[in-house]
Structures are given as structure tokens and as C-alpha cells.
């Protein structure tokens, strides 16, 4: 895991699970109102899989942001589990499905990070 926030291209991000369009719409309005990006996404080191921040990823795409702030994690060291009883997986299976374009349904994959995602205050102009 890296501890500092870095910027990566929005178009390099890959969903691991679905998202709520209603939540994305709410988040877009919030971001526009505040004019700041306030929380980095959590992504894996190798593929830029979005471990935390599916809605922020979609908001960034909607807002036409070129880059997003992220913290990178070694996925093999992140604790994960399913919020849905019918799904069992490990980080390798989540990675495989995501890279094959078959993300899990919304609210399926849950992660616990050693270090919590920090807050930030990045002007949107810096991300365009």
C-alpha cells in the first residue's frame, strides 16, 4: 500500500461491482456544490480495480475529470468478504471477473483496509 494520494487517469479505472445511478447523481451534485474532491478512491496496485469508490468513479466520468486522486493497495493484502450469502470469492476471483468485464452486483464486495482512506480537498480544476 502507498500512503500518499496520487493522481491516475480516470479512464484507467475498472469496476469490481455495480453502482447505484441515484447515488451517483447525488454525488455529482454534492461535488459540484462543494467544488472540491474530498475522498480518494482505493485502487489495486496492478490493474486500477476500484476497491472503494465505484460511485466516485462514475461521478468523475460524468464530470469529465481526466484524473482522480487515489490510494493504491496491494489487493492480496486487503481483507475482503461478500455482503451476499450466495457469493464466495477471494481477491484473485474478484480481479479475474473485473478484468473480464463481469463485475459483481452492487453491494457485493466489502473491503477492510489497514489504513483508512484520508480526506482531501482537491479543487476540481486540478482534475480536469
Q: What pLDDT was estimated at residue 17?
A: 98
Annotate 2-56 with DSSP letters as a single string.
Answer: --S-EEEEGGG-EESB---HHHHHHHHHHHHHHTEE-SPEEEETTT-EEEE-HHH
Q: What pLDDT shows up at residue 2? A: 64
111: domain CATH number is 3.90.1530.10
The reported pLDDT for the residue numbered 3 is 74
pTM, to two decimals: 0.95
Split into its structural domains, the chain has a count of 1
| Torsion-angle region of 33 (φ positive above 0: left; ψ -120 to 50: alpha; else: beta) | alpha
Q: Is 22 contained in some domain?
A: yes
pLDDT for residue 1: 56
Q: What is the DSSP letter of 104?
A: B
Judge whether 105 lies within some domain.
yes
What does the pLDDT read at residue 75?
Answer: 97
CA-atom Rg of the chain in angstroms: 14
Domain that holds residue 16: 6-127
- Inside any domain, residue 29: yes
For residue 19, tell me if it sits in a domain.
yes
- 86, part of any domain: yes
Q: pLDDT of the chain along its 128 residues, tens only?
A: 567 899 999 999 999 999 999 999 999 999 999 999 999 999 999 999 999 999 999 999 999 999 999 999 999 999 999 999 999 999 999 999 999 999 999 999 999 998 889 999 999 999 99
Task: Report the pLDDT value the prediction gives residue 86, as an integer from 0 to 100.
Answer: 94
Tell me whether residue 1 is in a domain: no
DSSP letter at 76 equals G
Quick check: is 37 in a domain? yes
What's phi and psi for 73, nearest 5 deg? -125, 145
Amino acid at each position: 500500500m502507498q500512503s500518499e494520494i496520487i493522481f491516475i487517469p480516470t479512464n484507467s479505472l475498472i469496476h469490481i461491482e455495480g453502482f447505484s445511478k441515484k447515488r451517483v447523481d447525488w454525488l455529482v451534485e454534492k461535488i459540484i456544490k462543494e467544488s472540491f474532491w474530498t475522498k480518494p478512491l482505493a485502487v489495486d496496485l496492478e490493474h486500477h480495480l476500484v476497491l472503494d469508490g465505484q460511485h466516485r468513479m462514475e461521478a468523475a466520468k460524468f464530470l469529465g475529470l481526466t484524473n482522480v486522486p487515489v490510494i493504491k493497495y496491494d489487493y492480496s493484502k486487503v481483507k475482503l468478504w461478500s455482503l451476499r450469502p450466495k457469493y464466495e470469492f477471494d481477491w484473485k476471483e474478484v480481479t479475474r471477473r473485473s478484468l473480464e468485464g463481469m463485475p459483481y452486483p452492487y453491494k457485493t464486495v466489502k473491503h477492510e483496509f489497514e489504513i483508512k482512506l484520508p480526506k482531501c480537498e482537491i479543487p476540481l480544476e486540478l482534475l480536469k
